[in-house]
Amino acid sequence: MGANEFAKLPHIGESVLRKEDYRFLTGAGQYTDDITLTRMSHAVFVRSPHAHANIKSVNTSAAKAAPGVIGVLEGKDVANDKLNGLPCGWLITSTDGQPMKEPPHPVLALDKVRYVGDHVVMVVAETLEQAKNAAELVEVDYDPLPAAVDVRDANGGPTLHDIAPDNHCYKWAIGDKGLVDEAFTKAAHITKLDLINNRLVPNAMEPRAAIGSYSRANDDYTLYVSNQNPHVERLLMTAFVMGLPEHKVRVIAPDVGGGFGSKIYLYAEDVCLTWASKKLNRNIKWVCERGEAFLSDAHGRDHSSHAELALDKDGKFLALRVHTDANLGAYLSTFSTCVPTILYATLLAGQYTTPLVYAEVDAWFTNTAPVDAYRGAGRPEATYLLERIVSRAAFELGLPQDEIRRRNFITQFPYQTPVALQYDIGDYVACMDASQKLADVAGFKARQAASQAQGKLRGIGYSSYIEACGLAPSNIAGALGARAGLFECGEVRVHPTGSVTVFTGSHSHGQGHETTFAQVVASRLGIAVDAVDIVHGDTGRVPFGMGTYGSRSISVGGAAIMKALDKIEAKAKKIAAHLMEASDTDIDFANGEFTVRGTDKKIPFGTVALTAYVPHNYPLETLEPGLNETAFYDPTNFTFPSGTYIAEVEIDPETGTVRLDRFTAVDDFGTIINPMIVEGQVHGGLVQGIGQALIENCVYDRETGQLLTGSFMDYAMPRADDFPEFKIGHVCTPCTHNPLGTKGCGEAGAIGSPPAVINAVLDALAPLGVKDLDMPATPHRVWQAIQSAKA
């Protein structure tokens, strides 16, 4: 079935209430911590209090003797059992042809710790209290070393890893530097910008948690873990770290309370629990505490960049030149290396016809928690840089922010960018038009005058973003260094009475797949949404799948289900043809009924399902019984959601307080299956993006390397009253190569919103002479910027 046909089916575009909400809203969800196995024990991790230190000795004897203690394990035990370190899933090759520096990432620290929170010792005891008490008795003798936490201090800073004496992981580049440099010599105007993309802490509502379980009877393991991609977790853990055969390890990611990227990765704790469950022959639970999550979850962003944009006299972009220093943290987290490269610089063409782009990225090790993909992953960093410099160019040239964008929008598709990607379709002008209308841009001047009358400054900011989603064509990803495929699987199991269970490799941790995917299946088969259940998150039940990240689930996971449904439909037509004594090429299937073209013969889907499993009158010699099909879908291209966001802020110049007064988001996600769920995703993304722009900031002490924002007392999480009511709109150009015509919506809000907000702040502050401001635009920072401009 094609995407256009699909979009017209019943239930597609319908805001079906979420099937999963009953259990979530009544507290009946089953999260990892809700699971209690027999003979459960509890683990606590002793973590480094130092940003950087040599370990002189570890003394666990008092801890081992403490009441209730089952085991105390340290780096030496890991080494003795010959476990490998944690792997990195993406190889980046430096511009000199050398592979990136890939230092060991020990499961428990050996000889050295490299960030505050680094995992050193695991204590397992009968109760959590006993484990905590024993953990306090572990004596680690550290010899502290100087630390570097700021990416600008990494070069020439204290060496973290022998393999990378200068802390440099790789230098990567894309684009033709020679041509770009030449274009700059011919520019009528050059806009320059230095900016920092601030580090963020993911803060999923449910912290990480895991239960390791080993069965001596079957010699197999089960790991329950709060994770976004259980098959990937299993593959990395078995093949790369533990050397176990995959059929002996089952990974279950039950209900998961948010991930935002931070639960994609294989973490040391997961390995420790699996390993120790056999070693100690006990089921072991670990639930990360919030303070521990601040220290040890993979953080997001943390770029420091310099950008230059060359323009002609009419404001047309001629070339973009970018240098970025990316902070990778102390070790390479699972997909850390592709975030500031493949997922970042390939997006620097944005929505514009800029013919030449050159970007160079230096990636560095620092004494901080590892940095990896966080909602948007690379694409927010690209969008922030590009949309900031575009608005800055507009300010410098005296052009309206919308006008400079319109002059440079891509309008012909498909469009080959100078940074590898080929956009299949989009309508950027339509998004801009719709967003401006919804935002009542026409009324801005009047609102600005009203603010001014009250001594306030009002500004408007634009951001026209694009993202590459639907990750990803495996062959392209492989050529770019991916060490895994990026397809997705789907199995559609039609039961004898016509209800359906779907097994998907996608994982839902808040996205509402149980509803959206059921809508896809119900619409195709002409059955009720309630007749379809979605199973995910269990390697013991679901075929090998790649999980959820990069706004890929509906476009890749949904497409796999579509392919399985194609197979179901084809087989069902053969069964129907047999029952109605017709040729299967004459069978049509619509609205849950099989009909013979040109006749009034028809039978319902349920009859065919039952016949498949009760094959008394059935073409057994040519057709197998049953109606159960599996498909794998590997996309042929990325999908390209896009949109234009408009922010309007009001600033109190006395205190620097920024009040976000209006926010408008118009997105093109292609086909929308459940508008309510999509709107929820947009809201969540906006809150995260605006949070980054206005309040969220992860800060390490530049001298000591201590995390200064280690709790919600100092790390500002966005709250409902920080926001106005969002205005949301849509433009739809269905993706041309996706069976559903979808593009993905999970990250858009977080990608598009930060530059819109900062551009609005800078627009408001322009009369005071403020030209630049880094995120987050807290009252203090804004006030300081105003004071500096006065001075």
Binding site for other proteins (CB under 8 A): 129, 132-133, 291, 654-656, 695, 699, 708-709, 712-717, 778-780, 783-784
Residue number with CB closer to other proteins (44 or 73): 44
CB atoms within 10 A of CB 788: 11
Separation CA 610–CA 594 (nearest Å): 14
* Minimal distance, residue 643 CB to other proteins, in Å: 28
* Minimal distance, residue 117 CB to other proteins, in Å: 15
Which residues make beta-bridge pairs with 46?
A: 121
* Minimal distance, residue 692 CB to other proteins, in Å: 13
Separation CA 753–CA 376 (nearest Å): 11
Tokens read off for 53: 């230190």
Helix, strand, coil percentages, rounded to 5, for the chain: 30, 25, 45
| Contacts for 243 with CB less than 8 Å, ≥ 6 apart | 82, 84
Residue recorded with tokens 């709060």: 226
Tokens read off for 72: 């105390």
Q: Is the peptide bond before 472 cis (omega within 30 degrees of 0)?
A: yes
Separation CA 273–CA 266 (nearest Å): 12
**Backbone dihedral region of 32: left (phi > 0), alpha (psi from -120 to 50 degrees) or beta?**
alpha
Separation CA 696–CA 688 (nearest Å): 9
* Minimal distance, residue 518 CB to other proteins, in Å: 36
Cα 440 to chain centroid distance, Å, stands at 32
Residue number with CB closer to other proteins (641 or 656): 656
Separation CA 349–CA 467 (nearest Å): 10
* Minimal distance, residue 27 CB to other proteins, in Å: 17
CB atoms within 10 A of CB 719: 10
Residue number with CB closer to other proteins (203 or 213): 203
Residue recorded with tokens 């029952």: 579
* Minimal distance, residue 695 CB to other proteins, in Å: 5
Residue number with CB closer to other proteins (442 or 713): 713
**Single-letter amino acid, residue 403:** E
Separation CA 697–CA 689 (nearest Å): 12
For strands 593-596 and 303-311, give the pairing: unpaired
Residue number with CB closer to other proteins (541 or 780): 780
Residue number with CB closer to other proteins (580 or 658): 658
* Minimal distance, residue 612 CB to other proteins, in Å: 55
Residue number with CB closer to other proteins (424 or 650): 650
* Minimal distance, residue 273 CB to other proteins, in Å: 23
What is the 3 state secondary structure string of 558-595?
HHHHHHHHHHHHHHHHHHHHHHCCCCHHHEEEECCEEE
Residue number with CB closer to other proteins (359 or 695): 695
Separation CA 337–CA 523 (nearest Å): 40
* Minimal distance, residue 68 CB to other proteins, in Å: 13
Residue number with CB closer to other proteins (133 or 229): 133
Tokens read off for 657: 């307080």
Residue number with CB closer to other proteins (300 or 315): 300
What is the 3 state secondary structure string of 667-678?
EECECCCCHHHH
* Minimal distance, residue 654 CB to other proteins, in Å: 5
* Minimal distance, residue 211 CB to other proteins, in Å: 22
* Minimal distance, residue 708 CB to other proteins, in Å: 5
Cα 282 to chain centroid distance, Å, stands at 34
* Minimal distance, residue 655 CB to other proteins, in Å: 6
Strands, DSSP E only, in 198-348? Answer: 209-215, 220-225, 249-252, 283-287, 303-311, 317-327
Q: What stretches of 236-289 show up as alpha helix (H) in DSSP?
A: 268-279
Separation CA 17–CA 34 (nearest Å): 25
* Minimal distance, residue 774 CB to other proteins, in Å: 14
* Minimal distance, residue 720 CB to other proteins, in Å: 12
Residue number with CB closer to other proteins (676 or 699): 699
Residue number with CB closer to other proteins (451 or 515): 451
Residue number with CB closer to other proteins (4 or 127): 127
Best CA proximity match to 41, nearest among 212, 209, 194: 212
Residue number with CB closer to other proteins (291 or 355): 291
Residue recorded with tokens 């502050």: 765
Tokens read off for 789: 């401009």
Separation CA 185–CA 421 (nearest Å): 26
* Minimal distance, residue 296 CB to other proteins, in Å: 16
Provide the 8-state DSSP code for 241.
Answer: I
User: Could you tell me if 124 and 70 are in contact, meaning their C-beta atoms sit under 8 angstroms apart?
Assistant: yes
For strands 422-423 and 415-416, give the pairing: antiparallel
User: Could you tell me if 172 and 273 are in contact, meaning their C-beta atoms sit under 8 angstroms apart?
Assistant: no
Residue number with CB closer to other proteins (636 or 787): 787
Residue number with CB closer to other proteins (267 or 715): 715
Tokens read off for 424: 């299949």
Residue number with CB closer to other proteins (143 or 654): 654
| Contacts for 703 with CB less than 8 Å, ≥ 6 apart | none
* Minimal distance, residue 684 CB to other proteins, in Å: 20
Residue number with CB closer to other proteins (336 or 451): 451
* Minimal distance, residue 756 CB to other proteins, in Å: 20
Which residues make beta-bridge pairs with 458?
A: 650
Interior/surface letters 657-688, b for 16+ CB within 10 angstroms, e for the rest: bbebbbbbbbbbbbbbbbeebbbbbbbbbbbb
